């Protein structure tokens, strides 16, 4: 899974919806994580676990969705102890993620290691330069690096790659390094979010220290996500940000 914040937000928002609809007492919400945590940064994973507990969202770990029977409304998970079936009325599924075919079937992916199977590009995690083809760089989700699978990361990755390309062309060295910056504006309710930012070392790297606390559910973080970041992402797509 590329962005583990995405299904967490979805779960929080769904819970909020049934609370607002007055049907929470008739609803059971369960979250099945494919691995042993809820988020790759331990302190964020623990925060999400606590919020799930407070909001009576049952959590299961190491459950890999293996099959769905839509007629019977049964999901089958592979677990360390064998197969497990789960009934559902409504299910939200995160598909297994991998690089697009054009990259997967090229010489560019990692040849071994944790990112080889999904076909992510073999780049240096700091310079984003390909380790075997030095005139190739990888930014965005395609980059086979330990963090950084968010649109916000691309904003910090692209200038690093460009700096190295310009340095190559002009024959000068570049010391530009991408530190793994990743941002996850995690909506926990309509009107509340946690603006979580971190780097390769799992350090929290808040852009507004003293103003926006990363692990607090705040209205200002929600405003920033819905009114600030969305137009920024759209501007990025148009090459304006
Ligand atoms: C539910 C969800 C919520 C998210 N929320 C956030 C968030 O709040 N903040 C944030 O920063 N990030 C968020 N992300 C992550 C963010 O969407 C991605 O990290 C970002 O889109 C990656 O950009 P990209 O350009 O690398 O890849 P993509 O956006 O996947 O773009 C790749 C493009 O290449 C195209 N393509 C593929 N193959 C070919 C081909 N052969 N020829 C031509 N084109 C091709 C694809 O169609 C696609 O348009 C979220 C992701 C999800 C799924």
State the SS3 of 195-232: EEEECCCCCECCCCCCCCCCCCCEHHHHHHHHHHHHHH
From the CA of 208, how far away is ligand 1's center (Å)? 26
Find the farthest-apart pair of alpha carbons in the chain and give their distance in angstroms, rounded.
67
Task: Tell me the average pLDDT across 191-219.
Answer: 91
Q: Using the atom order of ligand 1, give the atom closest to the CA of residue 149.
A: 19
**CA distances to 79, 153, 194 from 183, in Å:** 30, 7, 10
**Where is average pLDDT lowest: 32-46, 125-139, 176-190, 222-236?**
222-236
Residue 229 has what pLDDT? 80
4 pLDDT tier (thresholds 50, 70, 90): confident
Write out pLDDT tens, residues 59-112.
999 999 999 999 999 999 999 999 999 999 999 999 889 999 999 999 999 999
What DSSP letter does each residue of 50-100 carry, written as one string? HHHHHTTEEEE-S-EEEEEETTTTEEEEEETTEEEEEE-SS---PPP----
- Specify the pLDDT at position 241: 64
Q: Does residue 211 carry a pLDDT above 90?
A: no
Which domains are delineated in the chain?
Answer: 1-97 (3.50.50.60), 101-170 (3.50.50.60), 181-241 (no CATH)
Reported as a single tens digit per residue, the pLDDT across 212-240 is 888 889 998 898 888 888 888 788 788 77
Compute φ and ψ for 218, nearest 5 degrees.
Answer: -125, 150
Q: Measured in whole angstroms, how far is the alpha carbon of residue 100 from the centre of its chain? A: 17
Retrieve residue 240's tokens: 């304006």
Q: For residue 108, what pLDDT is reported?
A: 98
The mean pLDDT of the chain is 94
Residues with beta carbon inside 6 Å of ligand 1? Answer: 3, 6, 100, 102, 140-142, 149-152, 154, 183, 185
Closest to 205 measured CA to CA, from 217, 192, 196, 216? 196
- Global pTM reads 0.89
CA of 142 to the centre of ligand 1 (A): 9
Better-predicted residue by pLDDT, 179 or 215: 179
Q: Choosing from 139, 184, 193, 196, which is the catalytic residue?
A: 184
Query: Which of 1, 3, 104, 205 to mutate to test ligand 1, by most ligand atoms within 8 A of the CB atom?
Result: 3
Rounded Cα distance between 203 and 147, Å, is 12
Going by C-alpha positions, the residue among 108, 113, 114, 172 that lies closest to residue 134 is: 108
**Res 130: pLDDT:** 98
- Cα of 4 to ligand 1 centre, how many Å? 14
174 in helix, strand or coil?
coil
Q: How far is the CA of 151 from the centre of ligand 1 (A)?
A: 7
- What does the alpha-carbon distance between residue 85 and residue 74 come to, in Å, rounded to a whole number? 6
- pLDDT of 1 reads 73
């Amino acid at each position: 899974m590329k962005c583990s914040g995405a299904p967490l937000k979805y779960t929080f928002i769904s819970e909020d919806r049934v609370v607002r609809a007055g049907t929470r007492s008739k609803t059971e919400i369960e979250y099945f994580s494919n691995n042993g945590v809820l988020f790759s940064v331990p302190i964020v994973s623990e925060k999400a676990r606590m919020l799930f507990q407070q909001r009576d969202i049952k959590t299961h770990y190491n459950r890999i969705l293996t099959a769905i029977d839509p007629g019977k409304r049964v999901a089958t998970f592979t677990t360390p102890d064998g197969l497990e079936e789960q009934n559902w009325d409504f299910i939200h599924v995160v598909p297994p993620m991998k690089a697009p075919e054009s990259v997967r079937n090229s010489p560019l992916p990692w040849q071994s290691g944790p990112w080889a199977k999904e076909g992510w590009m073999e780049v240096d995690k700091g310079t984003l330069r390909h380790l075997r083809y030095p005139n190739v760089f990888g930014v965005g989700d395609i980059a086979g690096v330990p963090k950084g699978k968010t649109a916000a990361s691309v904003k910090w990755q692209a200038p690093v790659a460009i700096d190295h390309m310009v340095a190559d062309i002009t024959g000068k060295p570049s010391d530009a390094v991408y530190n793994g910056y990743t941002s996850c504006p995690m909506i926990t309710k309509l009107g509340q979010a946690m603006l979580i930012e971190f780097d390769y070392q799992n350090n929290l790297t808040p852009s507004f220290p003293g103003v926006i606390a990363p692990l607090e559910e705040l209205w200002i973080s929600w405003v920033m996500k819905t009114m600030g970041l969305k137009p920024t992402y759209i501007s990025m797509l148009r090459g304006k940000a």
